[in-house]
Amino acid sequence: MGSMHTGLEDRARDIDRLAEYFAERARGGVGLIVTGGYAPNRTGWLLPFAAQMTSASDVRRHRRITDAVQAFDGKILLQILHAGRYAYHPFSVSASSAKAPINPFRPRRLSGRGTLKAIDDFVRCARLARDAGYDGVEIMGSEGYLLNQFLAPRTNKRTDAWGGTASKRQRFPVEIDAKRAIKQGTELAARL
């Protein structure tokens, strides 16, 4: 079952309804479910106070979802989605400060340091998803969201190490994946 936003992701009080929604699909035979998008940090919210996976309290809440799905032998992935310039709030960020035509808010251009912090936030979000019992993560890199904004020359007007050539524009998503893999490998080695 591909990712779709139900509206239940955005309010903590709806977590049990969301768990039952996913459990019903697992009960019906869906083998793999991908959640709606969860932001790795506040700037990645789609809307103010939208779905996020950033803390231990999020992990505890999400255990209700993963337990409900896995009770029926289903697998579930958390989709990590950073809205970038599509965020409908004044804290939005992007590769460049190019305003999206569908949004009244102009994003702030991530600094080099801010870009590294965003990478760390994606990695932390993936680790928290694992701690919450998710079977994996899907990192949303399409449809114009933040990873895509770094990749596309139309939205990435940078001339530093994060923009310009295709390989520099690819650096942001590649480093998210590499750092996540290194972190997970290190944690796995420590457990062995």
What per-residue confidence (pLDDT) applies to 12? 86
Please write the tens of the pLDDT for every residue from 74-86. Answer: 999 999 999 999 9
Phi-psi bin for 87: left (phi > 0), alpha (psi -120 to 50), beta? beta
Whether residue 79 lies inside any domain: the answer is: yes
Assess whether 38 carries a catalytic annotation.
no
Of 38, 86, 134, 145, the active-site residue reads 145
Q: What confidence tier does 59 reach under pLDDT thresholds 50, 70, 90?
A: very high
70 burial class (0-12, 13-18, 19+ CB within 10 angstroms)?
middle
Whether residue 157 lies inside any domain: the answer is: no
Whether residue 152 lies inside any domain: the answer is: no
Q: What confidence tier does 179 reach under pLDDT thresholds 50, 70, 90?
A: confident
Angle at 153 between CA 149 and CA 156, to 5 degrees: 50
Q: What confidence tier does 164 reach under pLDDT thresholds 50, 70, 90?
A: very high
Indicate the pTM of the whole model.
0.92
Whether residue 186 lies inside any domain: the answer is: no
Domain of 110: which CATH number?
Answer: 3.20.20.70
Residue 79: closest CA among 27, 2, 173, 187: 2
Q: How far is CA 121 from CA 9, 14, 132, 163, 174, in A?
A: 19, 24, 16, 20, 14
Whether residue 29 lies inside any domain: the answer is: yes
> What is the residue type of 7?
G
Q: Give the integer Cα–Cα distance in Å for 187 and 181.
A: 10
Number of domains in the chain: 1
Q: Which domain holds residue 88?
A: 12-140
Whether residue 7 lies inside any domain: the answer is: no
Q: What confidence tier does 70 reach under pLDDT thresholds 50, 70, 90?
A: very high
